[in-house]
A = this chain, B = another copy of it.
Amino acid sequence: MEEEMKKNSFIAIKHHINGFPVESDFELKSQHLRLSAHPGSADIVLKNLFVSVDPYQIHRMKTPSPSHATSSAAPFITPGQVISVQGVAEVVDSDDPNFEKGDFVKGIIHWAQYSVVKARESALMKLDTLEFPLTYHLGILGMSGLSAYVGLFDVGKVKEGDKVFVSAASGSVGNLVGQFAKLLGCYVVGSAGSDQKVALLKEKLGFDAAFNYNHQKDLKSTLAKYFPNGIDIYFDNVGDEMLEAAVANMNPFGKVVVCGVISDYTKPKPRKGSPINMMEIVYKSITIQGFLVSDYLNVFQDFKSKAASYLRSSKMKAIEDISVGLHNIPSAFIGLFNGNNIGKTIVKIA
């Protein structure tokens, strides 16, 4: 048996991060890893190719506390340890009969050069690329796409003609929400944090309208202007004032689909909740519903075949923001909170 030991570089947090992340919160560490799978271990050794970089990960970097909700699908991150994330990898060695050297796989890997995983724990699947780039399987054909799809259809129960508002609309999920809603025949408006992003939404992705929230003095009036007939579905990625303004502009029986809360992610404690006018919730029979994409994996194949078909017929576009090199993960990650990214943020490792 080959016993090649390899230096495996990985990104770790130095300590829990409870405010806005900075580069010095992270470190590039290394450990030695055996690149062969022990017989009987069911281990799979992976060479990591692309990893996902997502805003929700900051939530997992905070100091764990009873009042700080997380989920088994997104456990807390321990300082100094490897960080688990969605990624695409190539099998280097395998003691699992379902995987063999050379397979492309996707699942929960790490911000690291190599990972040794077990199939079940990592939700590892052989990747059917459908002849699309590997990165698409982290974004438009991966968890970002599934989040947009189930948020809009399964949670939001969107219907043709609905008036849909999306915040963080140029982000990994937001841009796909808008594209799916347009394909269904909805009126779609997005908010974003730069004029460049606004232009992308309107000119490249077919949004009916978009606005730069940094230029707005009164979000309620802004939304009233863009939605003279009210909002039916608000796909919320940010919370706080934007959520409050959207609720004020919602139609009776409107639905708020809560996918993320970027306004809360980097606020130091004590974090105050988003102020919601509950009278509006009652008098307009509004529903606010949070969801985790991990509860909707049963619709993944259905979603993937639809999205792939839209991609093939050029009805959808993949917007990606790809950095190269493990050492660039911290800056790519921090950029999410500065609004630097456009579309899906991915780091190419190998």
Which of the candidate stretches A20-28, A78-86, A277-285, A300-308 sits at the interface with the other chain?
A: A277-285
| Whole-angstrom CA separation of A274 from B243 in the bound complex | 12
CB distance A290 to B295 under 8 Å? no
Chain A 283-298 interface residues, beta-carbon cutoff 8 Å to B: 283-292, 295
Residues in chain B near residue A259, CB distance under 8 A = 282
Residues in chain B near residue A243, CB distance under 8 A = 278
* A273/B244 contact (C-beta < 8 A), A69-B284, A264-B279, A295-B285 known: yes
Binding site secondary structure of chain A: mixed
| Whole-angstrom CA separation of A335 from B342 in the bound complex | 56
Q: Does A258 sit at the interface, judged by CB under 8 A?
A: yes
Q: Does A67 sit at the interface, judged by CB under 8 A?
A: yes
Q: Choose among A252, A259, A283 the residue with the greatest number of B CB atoms under 10 Å from its CB.
A: A283
CB distance A273 to B276 under 8 Å? yes
Whole-angstrom distance from the CB of A120 to the nearest CB of chain B?
21
Whole-angstrom distance from the CB of A229 to the nearest CB of chain B?
14
Give A56's nearest chain B residue, CB to CB.
B282
| Whole-angstrom CA separation of A281 from B292 in the bound complex | 10
| Whole-angstrom CA separation of A280 from B261 in the bound complex | 10
Choose one: B69, B240, B287; the contact of A283 (CB below 8 Å): B69
Whole-angstrom distance from the CB of A81 to the nearest CB of chain B?
21
| Whole-angstrom CA separation of A261 from B67 in the bound complex | 24
Whole-angstrom distance from the CB of A152 to the nearest CB of chain B?
16
| Whole-angstrom CA separation of A209 from B259 in the bound complex | 35
CB distance A280 to B69 under 8 Å? yes
Q: Does A16 sit at the interface, judged by CB under 8 A?
A: no
| Whole-angstrom CA separation of A316 from B112 in the bound complex | 62
Q: Does A98 sit at the interface, judged by CB under 8 A?
A: no
Q: Does A70 sit at the interface, judged by CB under 8 A?
A: yes
Give A74's nearest chain B residue, CB to CB.
B283
Chain A 15-59 interface residues, beta-carbon cutoff 8 Å to B: 59
Choose one: B68, B278, B295; the contact of A264 (CB below 8 Å): B278
CB distance B278 to A275 under 8 Å? no
Q: Does A248 sit at the interface, judged by CB under 8 A?
A: yes
Choose one: B74, B272, B284, B292; the contact of A285 (CB below 8 Å): B292
Choose one: B264, B278, B291; the contact of A258 (CB below 8 Å): B278
CB distance B274 to A290 under 8 Å? no
* A274/B278 contact (C-beta < 8 A), A248-B67, A288-B288 known: yes
A-B contact pairs, 24 of them (CB 8 A): A67-B220, A69-B279, A69-B284, A71-B252, A71-B284, A240-B278, A258-B278, A261-B281, A264-B277, A273-B277, A275-B275, A275-B276, A281-B288, A282-B291, A283-B290, A283-B292, A284-B290, A285-B291, A285-B292, A285-B295, A286-B289, A286-B290, A287-B289, A288-B288
